[in-house]
Amino acid sequence: MFYSPVITNAAEAAKSDRLHLFKYVEDPDQDKLDTFVKHGGYAAWRKVLDGMKPDEVIAEVKTSGPRGRGGAGFPTGMKWGFIPKDSPKPRYLCCNADESEPGTCKDRVLMERDPHGVIEGMAIASYAIGCHLMFIYIRGEFFFCAQQIEAAMKEAYAKGYLGKNIFGSGYDLEMIVHTGGGAYICGEETALLNSIEGHRGMSRIRPPFPAIEGLYACPTIVNNVESLASVPHIINRGGEWYKTLGTEKSCGSKIFSLSGHVKRPGNYEVELGFSLKKLIYDEAYGGGILGDKKLKGVIPGGSSTPFLLPDMIDVNLDYESLVEKGSMLGSGAVIVFHEDTCIVWVIKKLIHFYRHESCGKCTPCREGTGWLEKIINRIEAGQGKPGDLEKIDDICNNIMGRTICPLGDAAVMPIQSSLKLFRDEWQYHIEHGKCMVKSDFSFG
């Protein structure tokens, strides 16, 4: 078994009537088609092909109102509705499995342990938008995920769940597994499409949006793995049921990838609106801060979202509540830092990542991230100059909202937030040439 040894709350999900994504992820045979079917898998796929019209599928998903789990949180059903009805071109579905946001590792668990769940979700989405060829774009480093998905796909083909005339419905659906080369930018939907087409992974300018002109200039829907994986459950139990999960505006359940200085880092499926504090401190989840130290800050939605201070963590994990606190739900990667963390060091690591992953297409991101990295490295190394912070802030402003894709924004959001929330620490670094904290920590 090559499963990544990540802690999940599968036991809780198994007992729950409401949690559904993680119900069987600890079952070692869940990746086999028979076991998957025994657990109720592909029932939704049959139901859909048995007599639901594509529009009914879209309506069901629209009713339930889940928002995209990839980070931007765009309503899934609404996205499907953007496919032009009268276009003579073929349509495509691309499952975005290029999960690369630092801190995020939820899709990986689903693909490794429940690959059929992902395929079923993709199939239903394909049917809904009238697509006959679907792609899954898997991050290059996720070698095992790709193996699992590919094996599951072969089994699904062999047993007639994919291919020509599925279940005698007359509906054909082909699937292609495409692995990336390990570029973060390819998780951005238009760069992903470029990559599938064989071009450099660089984002395209919008409009046209992929739903109008996407893969090979045809209408295309790009959905995140987790978004698609929840679709079968919506079909099985109805949009109305799904709507009862979570909060009114952020419905459904969501997997949070908890990492950093917590005792039990792992993936936890909870209903949206779950308390962040509980997620970090509850024994069933994070189990508290490593070494029982004091909390310093939390990034609640993946490395590209602003920090939350300890007094702000009494917040519900849903799209609206986090925005109220000045941050974002993002991809649901909760990164926890304890008191001995040097924030400048954290930002140095982050900006290194973003500089390295910037595709180089548009000027502000390409040049700005490089410049920021140089300044931040200098400060971290104790050679910061007066005025550096203002300069960083200014560069961030010149990147924010000025780039083609959100990578630029993602790079500067944690920096600007840290400058605001931890300014004294930055200042200390420049004035004293060293960390304010002990910084004898590591991320293991």
Partner 1 sequence: MTEDVKTKEQAKPEVPMVSFTIDGRQESVPKGTTVLEAAKELGIHIPTFCWHPKLKSVGSCRMCYVEIEKWPKLAVSCATEVMPDMVVFTNSEKVKQGRKAILEFILANHPLDCPTCDKGGECDLQNLTFAHGIDDNRFDFQKNRFTSSTEGTTFDDKRIGPEIILNRNRCILCYKCVRANKEAFGEYDLGVYERGNIAEINSAPGKQVTNPFSGNLVQICPVGALTGADWRYKIRVWLTKTSPSICNFSSSGANILFYKDENKNKIHRVTARRNDAIDDGWIPDITRYGYQIVGSDERLKTPLIKKEGKQVEATWDEALDLIAKKLNEINEKKGRVCIGGMAAPHIDNAGLYSFSKLFRTVFKNNNVDHRSNYRMLPKEAGSHYITLCNRKFRISDIDDSDVIVIFGSDLLKEHHNLYLRIRKAYNFNNSRIFSVNPYSMKSSDVSEAELVYNVGTDEVLVNAIGLAAIEMELVDNTIGQKFKEKIIHKTLSEASGVCGVDEDLIKLIARAIANSKKISFICGELFSRSLARDNISSAILNINKLFGIENKGQIIALARYANSCGANKMAILPNPSKAVVDKLTELWGEYPEAEPKNTDAMLALMRKEEINGALIMGMNPIMMYPDRQFVTEGLERLDFLIACDMFETETTEIADVVLPMSSWAEYPGSYVNQEGILQTVPAAVKKLHQSKSPFEIVKCIAEKLEAQLFESDEQLNNEIEQLLSINDSDILPDEFLKVKFNPEEIEDDYLIPLFIGDDPHHSGYLTQKSNSLNNFRSEAYLELSPELAQKLGIEGGESVRVESPVGKIIVPTIISDYLDNDVVFIPRNFSTTPVTSLLMRKHRIDRVKISRVDE
Provide DSSP, 125-148: HHHHHT-SEEEEEE-TT-HHHHHH
Which CB sits closer to partner 1, 147 or 363?
A: 363
* 125 touches 231 (CB < 8 A): yes
- Binding segment for partner 1 among 44-52, 116-124, 149-157, 357-365 (CB under 8 A)? 357-365
**H-only helix segments in 387-440:** 388-399, 407-421, 423-432
Residues 210-239 that bind partner 1 (CB under 8 A): none
Q: Which of these ranges, 51-59, 100-108, 197-205, 311-319, lies near partner 1 under the rule CB under 8 A? A: 197-205
Considering the complex, state which of residue 398 and residue 439 has its C-beta at the smaller distance from partner 1: 398
Beta carbon nearer to partner 1, 163 or 370:
370
In the bound state with partner 1, the residue whose beta carbon lies nearer, of 115 and 187, is: 187
Q: Please tell me what DSSP assigns to residue 39.
A: T
Residue 200 interacting with partner 1 (CB under 8 A): yes
Cis peptide before 207 (omega within 30 of 0): yes
Q: Of 123-131, 147-155, 280-288, 354-362, which part binds partner 1 (CB under 8 A)?
A: 354-362
Residue with tokens 């926890």: 336
Contact 379, 430 (CB under 8 A): yes
* 358 near partner 1, judged by CB under 8 A: yes
> Tokens for 371?
């410049």
Q: Nearest distance from residue 181's CB to partner 1, in Å?
A: 10
User: How far is it, in rounded angstroms, from Cα 55 to Cα 234?
Assistant: 15
Stretch that binds partner 1, among 65-73, 113-121, 139-147, 360-368 (CB under 8 A): 360-368
Using the rule CB under 8 A, which residue among 53, 164, 249, 374 binds partner 1? 374
Q: Is 166 in the site for partner 1 (CB under 8 A)?
A: no
Tell me if 263 contacts partner 1 by CB under 8 A: no
Is residue 370 at the binding interface for partner 1, with CB under 8 A as the rule?
A: yes
Question: One-letter amino acid identity for 177?
Answer: V
Q: Identify whether the C-beta of residue 396 lies closer than 8 Å to the C-beta of residue 426.
A: no
Which range, of 18-26, 200-208, 275-283, 318-326, touches partner 1 by CB under 8 A?
A: 200-208
Report helix, strand or coil for 241: helix
Please identify, using beta-carbon distances, which residue of 27 and 367 lies nearer to partner 1: 367
User: If binding is defined by CB under 8 A, does position 355 make contact with partner 1?
Assistant: yes
Cα dihedral angle (141, 143, 145, 151), rounded to 10 degrees? 160
One of 6, 157, 366, 439 touching partner 1 (CB under 8 A): 366
Pairwise CA distance, residues 49 & 170, whole Å = 9
Sites for partner 1 among residues 382-411 (CB under 8 A):
385, 391, 398, 401-404
Task: Return the C-alpha torsion angle 112, 113, 115, 118, nearest 10.
Answer: -100
Taking CB under 8 A as the rule, does residue 367 contact partner 1? yes
Which residue's structure tokens are 């970090």?
Answer: 280
Q: What is the DSSP letter of 163?
A: B
Q: Which two tokens stand for residue 324?
A: 């109220």
Pairing type for strands 253-260 and 266-271 reads antiparallel
Residue nearer to partner 1 on the CB measure, 35 or 363: 363
User: What is the pattern of x (binds partner 1, CB under 8 A) and - over residues 33-72?
Assistant: ----------------------------------------
Interface stretch with partner 1, choices 37-45, 172-180, 330-338, 350-358 (CB under 8 A): 350-358
The long-range contacts involving 376-384, CB below 8 angstroms and separated by at least 24 positions, are 376/344, 376/347, 376/348, 376/351, 376/415, 377/348, 379/344, 379/426, 379/429, 379/430, 380/342, 380/344, 380/345, 380/348, 380/429, 382/429, 382/432, 382/433, 382/434, 383/433, 384/429, 384/430, 384/433
Closer Cβ to partner 1, 275 or 363, answer by number: 363
Smallest distance from partner 1 to CB 172, Å: 24
- When binding is defined by CB under 8 A, the residue of 79, 361, 418, 421 that contacts partner 1 is 361
Q: Does 369 bind partner 1 (CB under 8 A)?
A: yes
Among 368, 379, 384, 441, binds partner 1 (CB under 8 A): 368
Which C-beta is closer to partner 1: that of 241 or that of 371? Answer: 371
Residue numbers of the site for partner 1 (CB under 8 A)?
Answer: 183, 200, 204-205, 207, 355-364, 366-371, 374, 385, 391, 398, 401-404
